[in-house]
Amino acid sequence: MKILVINAGSSSLKYQLLDPEKGTLLAKGLCERIGLDGPVLKHSPAGKDKVVIEKEMKDHQQAIALVLEALTDKEHGVIASMDEIDAVGHRVVNCGSFYAESVLIDEKVKKAIRDCYPLSPLHNPANMTGIEACEKAMPGKPMVAVFDTAFHQTMPEKAYIYGLPYKYYEKYQVRRYGAHGTSHRFVSQKAADFLGKDPKDLRLVTLHLGNGSSLAAVRGGVCVDTSMGFTPLSGPLMGTRCGDIDPAIVPFLMSQEGLDAKGIDRVMNKESGVFGVSGVSSDFRDLAEAASQGNHRAQLALDLFAYQVKKIMGSYIFAMGGCDAIIFTAGIGENDDLTRAAICEGLEDLGIKMDLGKNKGLRGQDADVSAPDSKVRILILPTNEELMIARDTMAIVNKL
């Protein structure tokens, strides 16, 4: 089976063509600057050279047409015709409380995605543009929506209701939704496989640490809490997002700096996090380099990140009454041994003991880096959200 996975942004479109049964990638690519000057499609067929195609892309419709052309091209294509694509899986950021799992796209699903525009004003409309463009380009092809928020729908009320007047939950659906759900689900399933255990018997804390970072408490295979909230701004500080702060800082800074709602939103989303604290970079490689040269604020940003992740992880272990394994994933989790070690440092009395030798230098591969006498297993499991989307799409299409 061949599944095309689409992740549409407002001016970009990422795609992968995968065989979910074998878990193999046939091609991947990215359309950038859709609707802008200088649009470009970077297409990487597996086992062949990457090609860069510069052609007009005035909208997502044209971008999809170019992607299909690239996939079926005689030289750099990987399939003979579009008919070889069995179905399309779309990443959709937010489905509010409508769905707890992936669904076949029909008019009702599209209405739910539209109804959630206020919850995700940047991403959901862009995801919808991708869906509509694919529907036009491939009429009749089954399409599946895989939602970032769906995995977190199993959270109990006490984990998703905020201490605000309840009427705002009823009126505007202000509650915790979480994000990165596809990744948390992928690595929690992978952890069960890796440990040779039934997911029902496991209490896991999954740490998706990348440019955006979130943690999830996963008990019995379902999410019981997560650190991103109504928006992806909460949790530990991130690349450029501030994470959890005293909410009263918001009106204070607005009045001191003369900022409107958009202005403070920009400060908290784009100018904060490890970038805002360090003044150096949002990239942990740059921070480690600057810190090694004695830059105090770069070191402070790294310390803040590890400390905040550790505290949230601790709260989830308490919430679940214990933990069998901690899973590191995404850019930082998979690659940054120093940050992984800093997060686990000093937890030996709680049964969390990392083998620092095993952890050192480990990048992007499945591994158990816990010490033999650690009660809690510490795993590194690279995430693969596209493969999860392709698997969900296959499962739904197989039932049609």
Quick one: which of 29, 45, 89, 210 contacts ligand AMP (CB under 6 A)?
A: 210
**Is residue 242 within 8 Å of 268, Cβ to Cβ?**
yes
Q: Which is nearer to ligand AMP, 15 or 284 (CB)?
A: 284
Assess 187 for contact with ligand AMP (CB under 6 A): no
Assess 291 for contact with ligand AMP (CB under 6 A): no
Assess 114 for contact with ligand AMP (CB under 6 A): no
* Token pair 């640490």: residue: 209
- Shortest distance, position 283 Cβ to ligand AMP, whole Å: 4
Quick one: which of 284, 305, 316, 328 contacts ligand AMP (CB under 6 A)?
A: 284
Q: How far apart are CA 395 and CA 389, in angstroms?
A: 10
Quick one: which of 112, 119, 332, 367 contacts ligand AMP (CB under 6 A)?
A: 332
Catalytic residue among 19, 73, 86, 148, which? 148
Number of residues that bind ligand AMP (CB under 6 A): 12
Segment interacting with ligand AMP (CB under 6 A) among 47-55, 76-84, 324-332, 374-382: 324-332
Q: How far apart are CA 145 and CA 392, in angstroms?
A: 9
- The question of whether 49 is a catalytic residue gets the answer no
- Shortest distance, position 238 Cβ to ligand AMP, whole Å: 9
Q: How far is CA 379 from CA 98, 221, 351, in A?
A: 33, 16, 14
Q: Which two tokens stand for residue 254?
A: 């607005």
- Shortest distance, position 229 Cβ to ligand AMP, whole Å: 19
Q: What is the DSSP string of 135-191?
A: HHHSTT--EEEEESSGGGGG--HHHH--SS-HHHHHHH--S---S-HHHHHHHHHHH
Q: How far is CA 116 from CA 96, 169, 244, in A?
A: 6, 14, 24
**Is residue 149 within 8 Å of 181, Cβ to Cβ?**
yes
- Shortest distance, position 195 Cβ to ligand AMP, whole Å: 23
Assess 211 for contact with ligand AMP (CB under 6 A): yes
Assess 285 for contact with ligand AMP (CB under 6 A): yes
**Is residue 390 within 8 Å of 89, Cβ to Cβ?**
yes
Assess 336 for contact with ligand AMP (CB under 6 A): yes
Q: Which two tokens stand for residue 128?
A: 């919808």
- Give kind and range of the element (H or E) at residue 131: helix 123-137
What is the residue type of 85?
Answer: I
- Shortest distance, position 6 Cβ to ligand AMP, whole Å: 18
Quick one: which of 153, 226, 335, 393 contacts ligand AMP (CB under 6 A)?
A: 335
Quick one: which of 119, 331, 376, 382 contacts ligand AMP (CB under 6 A)?
A: 331
Catalytic residue numbers read: 148
Give the binding site for ligand AMP (CB under 6 A).
210-211, 239, 283-285, 330-332, 335-336, 363
